[in-house]
Amino acid sequence: MLNFYYAQKKMWQILIHLVFIIQIFLFGVILLVTLHWFLELVNQQFLQFVQPMSDFVSGLIKIFYKRMIEIGGVKLDGSILLFDIIAILLIFGGAQLRDFFQKQITKIDIIIDKVARDQEELFNKKLQEDYEKQLLKNSNIGILITYSLKNVLGNAFWSEPSNDLVGNKQKEVDKQIYYALSKLNGCKVAKTGSQFLILCSDFEKIDFILDYLKKLLAKIDEYVLKSQMTLTTYVALEPYDNKTNMKKVFTILNKMLSLKMPDEIICLGNFQLRYEFLKKQNYHFVLKGTYSIEDNDKVWALVKKN
């Protein structure tokens, strides 16, 4: 479509240049022929090379006009003057014609701009649709959880007993967390060292899973507090599609946990964008900063809405 209008614009531009060349040519002919005619009247022979052109112009005009002009009792050939008048009119007409052609170019430019904007909007819309389709393919969710226990009664003199106590309590907490997470329907749970990895194939369940996690971690916190200990948790989320390598997902989650944002559930922008497609959203996002994860990525914390 645009090529058609560009071709039209090119045609009008060529016509403008052509008319301008004709105008310059006519102006030159007027100047030379009139000057030659005037010099002949005063018996000067400075522009003899213009004679053939002058004779041609005079002969052409005499085809239609053969009358002589009488000035002061002297009869003169009026064909050159008539040619000058006609040529000047043609030059003026050419200027009007060029103005008309320029207006056509202006109209075409308006059409080109509109068509270009429409095509750009269509292209951007297609890109957005493709991007949304790609986001919606991220129907799976990976969650990585880790925690740390601290004995609030521990001191320099009782470091060994307190460390043993923390170690025993951590084993109990590991069992409780693993048992509770294994009850999540449609999710797989794996324990790697001090970390728990949850893989869920239904992104629509994310709010339920987050609520479940928050309640679970709150209960664990109450449980360890009875033993004079404090619980600090770290949780990271990352969506992925069925073709994604799980090692990549696990690496990204680990990098987020390495930021050490205590008692926060954090994610990157791709999770935030995917989350916005949910019909009901129980959480909102708070920007925590920009960090080097895969690139310079914005890290967000999920906060439950009131």
Helices within the chain (DSSP H only): 2-41, 51-62, 79-137, 159-181, 206-225, 246-257, 269-275
Distance from the first to the final alpha carbon of the chain? 53
| Whether residues 235 and 206 fall in one domain | yes
Whether 152 and 295 map to the same domain: the answer is yes
DSSP letter, residue 177: H
Q: Are residues 155 and 125 in the same domain?
A: no
Same domain, 110 and 172: no
* Residue 255 DSSP class: H
- The count of structural domains within the chain is 2
pLDDT tens for each residue of 96-136: 999 999 999 999 899 888 888 888 888 888 876 776 777 67
The last residue of a domain, from among 83, 103, 135? 135
Same domain, 101 and 194: no
Mean pLDDT of 245-268: 93
Check whether residue 102 and residue 145 sit in a common domain. Answer: no
Q: Which one of 95, 113, 135 terminates a domain?
A: 135
Better-scored residue on pLDDT, 196 or 44: 196
Name the domain boundary from 101, 135, 169: 135
Residues 64-71 have a mean pLDDT of: 60
Q: Which tokens go with 127?
A: 């890109």
Please give the model's pTM, rounded to 2 decimal places.
Answer: 0.60
Please write the tens of the pLDDT for every residue from 214-236.
Answer: 999 999 999 998 888 889 999 99
Q: Name the residue among 82, 73, 84, 72 with its Cα closest to residue 35.
A: 84
Same domain, 218 and 147: yes
295 phi/psi in degrees, rounded to 5: -145, -150
Torsion of CA 10, 12, 13, 14, to 10 degrees: 90
Q: Which domain holds residue 92?
A: 2-135
Domain match, 17 and 60 both? yes
Residue type, 227: S
Contacts of 300 (CB under 8 A, 6+ apart): 266, 267, 268, 269, 271, 272, 285, 286, 287, 288
Output DSSP code: residue 130. H
151/259 same-domain check:
yes
